[in-house]
Amino acid sequence: MCALASEPVLASRRPATLYLYAARAARGVGDGFAFIILPAYLSELGFDPLQIGVVATAALLGSAATTLAVGFLAARYDLRSLLLIGAVVMAATGLAVAHSQALALILVIVFIGSLNPSTGDIGMIVPLEHAMLARGAQDQERTRVFARYSLIGTASTAAGALAAATPDFLVSFGAGRLAALTAMFYVYAALGAIGVLLYWRLPHVEPRQTEVRVAGLGPSRRIVYKLAALFSLDAFAGGFVVPSILALWLFERFDLSLAAASLFFFWTNVFSALSYPVAARLARRFGLVNTMVFTHIPSSLCLVLAAFSPSLPIVLTLLLVRAALAQMDVPTRTSYVMAVVTPAERTAAASVTAVPRSLASSLSPALSGALLAT
């Protein structure tokens, strides 16, 4: 009876999923402009590429730490309460960055807070949402549920990328550039507040007794650790071109404007969003692992070619093709992890596979910043 009472009733599962989708959309809009605004804001404050790379590294390290903590604590606490805390942290991060101009203070804020230099699903909220979604999905629906989740997140991130042009619009009306950039962090805080309202409507999901005893990984520990190592290798490479660093590279090498960058990243996110339902179809036909592997190879080749191309149109075209392929492993990877572990281990598994990815990718932006600084 205790286990049954702790589960959301069947009738509440669909509304809960919709609230999670809506919260993901709000967070995606914030992430969509934040990763473009962040390097522009730091540059306006006078920071060089190396310092901006260090900020990106601190943000990813902080995301890894909070994600790890959540993964091992979530088995003991109500998922709804933890999601509310995550949304409050997002709102507080936006307000704190808007009032900070010292490098040391910004490093502390991005380490503790939710601001990400990447558009990927990282941070303390992600494993909680994954676990909540997995509870309400049947086995045969799970990949489609996560594909929709990823689609909504990336589509909203695309909309947020368009919003990154707002500071240029405000400057054209006489606003100061620094003030215009700062205003975007207030918008980021407001989106966090929207997340609080949406998570508030979720049902309480108290831990089951089996989850309390496991309090992390159990019988699936070995396979989860293998997957974490594999995902980390991929993330370390991807960390050299997290969107904030990629935006900074385009600013530095091709003198791309903020408005042009926002339009470009809008289309990269649109292409990524469109790839998720395609990935779900491919996974049903060819399998989850094959879909993850054989879409990554051509996307990596496009990135290599873009690095050596002197032409901005060719570079942007190659990066757009890469965007259409590189994220197909996101819903398939999540679905695979949720499928190979027991229900009691899902939150911990989502965390343990995400945290090493964040740690591995956090090393690369500082290295990229150092290279750009030369």
pLDDT in tens, 288-332: 888 888 888 899 999 999 999 999 999 999 999 999 998 888 778
Q: What is the rounded CA–CA span in Å between residue 57 and residue 257?
A: 24
pLDDT at 115: 84
Q: Are 186 and 94 a contacting pair, CB within 8 Å?
A: yes
Burial class of 219 by CB neighbour count within 10 A (0 to 12, 13 to 18, 19+): exposed
Enter the tokens of residue 262.
Answer: 């926002």
pLDDT at 119: 64
pLDDT at 138: 66
Residue 200 Cα distances to 30, 59, 73, 83, 193, angstroms:
19, 26, 20, 9, 11
Q: Quote the distance between the C-alpha of residue 176 and its chain's center.
A: 30
Check whether 106 has a pLDDT greater than 80. yes
Q: What is the rounded CA–CA span in Å between residue 280 and residue 96?
A: 39
Look at residues 26, 20, 25 and name the one whose alpha carbon lies nearest to residue 273.
25
Look at residues 197, 64, 194 and name the one whose alpha carbon lies nearest to residue 122.
64
Burial class of 93 by CB neighbour count within 10 A (0 to 12, 13 to 18, 19+): buried
Least confident of 95-109, 119-133, 203-217, 342-356: 203-217
Look at residues 265, 263, 275 and name the one whose alpha carbon lies nearest to residue 147.
275
pLDDT at 236: 86
Buried/exposed 328-355: b ≥16 CB within 10 Å, e otherwise: bbbbbbbbbbbeebeebbbbbbbbbbbb
Task: Report helix, strand or coil for 131.
Answer: helix
Q: What is the rounded CA–CA span in Å between residue 69 and residue 87?
A: 16
Q: Are 147 and 280 a contacting pair, CB within 8 Å?
A: yes
Q: What is the pTM of this model?
A: 0.74
pLDDT at 71: 67
Check whether 78 has a pLDDT greater than 90. no
pLDDT at 120: 58
Burial class of 174 by CB neighbour count within 10 A (0 to 12, 13 to 18, 19+): exposed
Q: How wide is the angle at C-alpha 86 spanned by C-alphas 137 and 120, nearest 5°?
A: 65
pLDDT at 95: 96
Q: Please give the helix or strand (H or E) that residue 240 lies within, else none.
A: none
Amino acid at 358: S
Q: What is the rounded CA–CA span in Å between residue 195 and residue 192?
A: 5
Top-confidence residue, 256 or 219: 256
Look at residues 104, 110, 47, 56 and name the one whose alpha carbon lies nearest to residue 252.
47
Enter the tokens of residue 255.
Answer: 């003198």
pLDDT tens digits, 156-211:
988 999 999 999 999 999 889 999 999 999 999 999 999 999 999 988 766 654 44
- What is the 8-class DSSP label of residue 218? -
How does the average pLDDT of the chain come out, rounded? 84
Residue 341 dihedral angles phi and psi, to the nearest 5°:
-115, 165
Q: What is the rounded CA–CA span in Å between residue 20 and residue 307?
A: 37
Enter the tokens of residue 212.
Answer: 């309390």
Look at residues 195, 37, 24, 232 and name the one whose alpha carbon lies nearest to residue 115.
37
Q: What is the rounded CA–CA span in Å between residue 147 and residue 21?
A: 11
Confidence band of 231 (pLDDT split at 50, 70, 90): confident
Check whether 355 has a pLDDT greater than 80. no
Share of residues in the chain with pLDDT > 90 (%): 34
* CATH for 2-369 (3.40.50.620, 3.40.50.360, 1.20.1250.20, 3.20.20.30): 1.20.1250.20
pLDDT at 3: 41
